[in-house]
Amino acid sequence: MENLQAILASPTPVLIDCFATWCGPCQMVPPILKEVKDKMGEQIRIIKIDIDRNQQLAAQWQIASVPTLLLFREGKLIWRQSGVVPAHQLIPLLKQKI
């Protein structure tokens, strides 16, 4: 897999889904992100990060609850939100941010 820092530093915005396998609401996020990807295509890159397997990252990003979505552009965190966000709300929000 590509180096995470290189992915985050790219000019293509990166939406990170911070999740945990034991988290019920996290199971609702993949179909939402699929819809986001279907609508936004190459405008955005979406990756998933399991906070239990990446505890150092979770601590660095101060992930207190899951699911948490993080939006990076050129290495900078430009938006974050915890909880499940429906696609019809998430897509316009992302388009506004990028």
Helix 87-97 with 29-40: angle, nearest 10 deg:
50
- Which residues, 6+ apart, have CB-to-CB distance to 4 below 8 Å? 57
Active site residue 18: no
- Which residues, 6+ apart, have CB-to-CB distance to 52 below 8 Å? 20, 21, 22
Active site residue 23: yes
In this structure, what token pair is assigned to residue 67? 């699911």
* Active-site pick, 26, 69, 91, 94: 26
Residue 10 has φ and ψ, to the nearest 5°, of -65, 155
* Active-site pick, 7, 9, 20, 23: 23
Positions marked catalytic: 23, 26
